[in-house]
Structure 1
């Protein structure tokens, strides 16, 4: 149980690491369209993302899949930009339809696969040669899921408070946050 808790803490710390803002931006980018009333949808989206990176972590842990680290490091911010572009589309319209939500689940699953490749070298360094990868991956991914849900809850709390204060102007706040994330991530890409 101690090993599981160790890897769980590592997963939480990996997401909440101030040096790893790309993950924070990504989480905000896919929950920006929702409120606390949509909590089931958001938990599903977060879980779809976690399942995606759990699969690639597992496959890379078994050394069945491997992609150049520089390529993955470029693809991760590109997924965030694509999420922001998707948000622009929805912010112009109303809330996403059921079909659009299904598409978003699939997109987040695929993006999770890409992001999981970014974690693969990190998790490989943590696992001992004779250690099974199941417990570390399970603990690490549960930690990632918990940290993501913590970020989502904090962000939705801010959106809820802003909605009370700004009322009809909340759409513009969402748009502004989306633009800020877009340009911060674009700067990340250009600085590499």
Structure 2
């Protein structure tokens, strides 16, 4: 059980590491459209994203999947940018528009697959060929899930407080945050 706990802590630390802001930006980008009232949807979305990680980490841990790191490092910010563009479209669209949740789950699963490939080299350093990868990967992914939920809870708390200050008009707050994330991701894509 100690090994599971060690990898859980490693997963939490990996997500909350200030050097890995791409994951942080992505989490914020896909939960911008929601509030605490949508906690079940958010939990499902975060979990779909984590399942995507888990699949690619498992496959890469078994050396079944290996993709050029440069390609993955390019695709990860692209997923964040796509999420932000989707947010702009939804936030500026008619209020009656409701995104298809099943499609959103599928998109987050696929984006999780891509982000998981970004973790694969990182996690391979901790897993030795003669060890079972199941327990370490399970612990690492549970840690990722917990850290993501912490980010979401913190972000939604801030948005809720800002909504109270702004008299419930969160559209412009969300658009502003989305714009900031978009600019940071464009910097990541073209200047880093």
Q: TM-score range by the shorter chain?
A: over 0.9
The answer for the alignment partner of 1:140 in structure 2 is 140
**Shift in Å, 1:96:** 5.5
Query: If each structure's helix is expressed as a fraction of its own residues, which one has the higher value?
Result: 1
Counterparts of residues 1-192 of structure 1 (less than 5 Å): 1-93=1-93, 94=95, 97=98, 100-192=100-192
CA RMSD of aligned residues (A): 1.1
Unaligned 5+ segments in structure 2 are none
Cα distance per residue 1:168-190 (max 9 Å; x no partner): 43100100000000010010010
Counterpart CA distance in 2 for 1:167 and 1:155 is 18
**Shift in Å, 1:100:** 2.2
> What TM-score, normalized by structure 1, do the two folds share?
0.96
Unaligned 5+ segments in structure 1 are none
> What TM-score, normalized by structure 2, do the two folds share?
0.96
Counterpart CA distance in 1 for 2:86 and 2:183 is 15
Aligned length: 191
Q: 1:108 to 1:51 in 2, by over 3 A?
A: same
Counterpart CA distance in 1 for 2:106 and 2:37 is 22
